[in-house]
Structure 1
Amino acid sequence: MASVVISDRVEAKDFVEGVDYVQVSGIPEAKSPIVREFFSYNCSHCYRQDPIFEETVELLGDTIDFERTPIGAGRPSWILSQEAYYLAQKFNMTNQVHGNLFKRIHEKEGPFTRPEQLKDFFVKQGADASAVEKAMNSVDAKLAISNYDTQAQLAGIRGVPSLLVNGKYLIGSKSRTPEELAELVKYLSALEGADKS
């Protein structure tokens, strides 16, 4: 077990590989340090964990980039949710619609089952109907969804939500507070730096 210095603290408590995290072949990340959440709007665990992850991101502040990758798992309604994330990114509406997508699926109408429902959702959020339809049928949408699937496969994602730090440290699914999660993410980011030296 390595002891790693983290920010202004003298040392962080040690985390155990195989218990708190595992090293995976992973994915190449353009930025570092970065934490990537693999999730689905259809996943009830993701829905419940989302406030914890949001608070963790706030605690980390500008020190670590945060990205999301939606998972399709070959299920039609989950693939529509991947498309929802793509559209949110495409129209710069992610902050506006992220929580609304979870609420729509888990508190109101259930999962998307048809593309028309997805289009209607974004139109109600203020997007132009023809622009949404064009984006949904674009090559870019297909490429984005293929890229999401490739990232999940390379990261060895077996369930959601999952967090991957710097493209190679997969955090275990143990229940943690936002503070504990932020500490673990910082630890793994520092460990990545120590591995390179």
Structure 2
Amino acid sequence: MKRRDFSMAAASLGLLPLVAPSHAQQRPPKAGTDYIALGKPAPVDTPAGKVEVVEFFSYNCPHCAAFEPQLEAWIKKLPPHVNFKRIPVPFVGNDTEAKQRLYYTLEAMGKVDEFQPKIFDAIHKQRQPLTGDAGILAWVEKQPGLDAKKFAELYKSFSVSGKAKRAAQLTSDYQVAGVPAIGVAGRWYVDGDTAGNLDRALQVTDFLIGEARKG
């Protein structure tokens, strides 16, 4: 979802198709067409010999919710030399910092994998009022398997707020235009617009991972 498009509330999820046409799948990825080479490298935080791949997303974004199952399947097939991270962006909606802290609190608790789909479902399918600090904390109180007291402590912590600020900076470094989007090795940026659709965006990401391994 583009920054400028959120006010439209994405009544249609068809703005960024998930499945690529067969002819597009055969075309080799090209800089400036299928992906963007950053003029200034973005910082990476990953061990030597690893390729950092980051997904920029927002819990408020319906495209991110629709993309999540496909992304999860792709993540499971990533080779061991890829270090995958999620970055919640500071746009899409009016409670962006709260949603960023929601993600980083779950990360600190080791609960992202379990609750990532549940949050998307709560917001986009069940239409629950998971908005702002009050809405998030009220939702957490009702979740089995989630320690609400610990969550509240971490949610308000300096470390979680610091991670949200760093996420905002990395979003700027990659010049993220909309979500979902993917950054590779601090050098390349791809999304559904550059690649043509989100299915091909993952194919382009696979290609860029290979390019990063070359040096």
Report the TM-score range of the alignment, normalised by the length of the smaller protein.
Answer: 0.7 to 0.9
The runs of at least 4 aligned residues of structure 1 exceeding 6 Å deviation read: none
Kept after mapping to 1: 8 A contact 2:182/2:205: no
2:125 is paired with a residue whose SS is: helix
State the match for 1:16 in structure 2: 30
CA deviation after TM superposition for structure 1 residue 28, in Å: 1.8
State the match for 2:15 in structure 1: none
Determine the C-alpha separation between the residues in 1 that align with 2:102 and 2:157. Answer: 14
Which letter maps to 1:144?
K
1:108 is paired with a residue whose SS is: coil
State the match for 2:74 in structure 1: 56
Unaligned runs of at least 5 residues, structure 2: 1-25
Alignment CA distance shift 1:113-1:181 (3 Å): closer
Determine the C-alpha separation between the residues in 2 that align with 1:70 and 1:111. Answer: 19
Alignment CA distance shift 1:112-1:145 (3 Å): same
* TM-score, with length taken from structure 1: 0.82
Which letter maps to 1:162?
A
* TM-score, with length taken from structure 2: 0.76
Q: Which of 83, 90, 103 is the equivalent residue of 1:72?
A: 90
* Matching of residues 37-116 of structure 1 within 5 Å: 37-73=55-91, 75-110=93-128, 112-116=130-134
Alignment CA distance shift 1:182-1:114 (3 Å): closer
State the match for 1:175 in structure 2: 197
Q: Which of 175, 189, 193 is the equivalent residue of 2:209?
A: 189
Determine the C-alpha separation between the residues in 2 that align with 1:114 and 1:72. Answer: 13
Determine the C-alpha separation between the residues in 1 that align with 2:180 and 2:202. Answer: 16
Aligned alpha-carbon RMSD (Å): 2.2
Among all aligned residue pairs of Structure 1 and Structure 2, give the percentage whose two residues are the same amino acid: 22
Determine the C-alpha separation between the residues in 2 that align with 1:52 and 1:193. Answer: 24
Alignment CA distance shift 1:101-1:20 (3 Å): same
State the match for 2:138 in structure 1: 120
Does residue 166 of the first structure (1) align with residue 185 of the second (2)?
yes
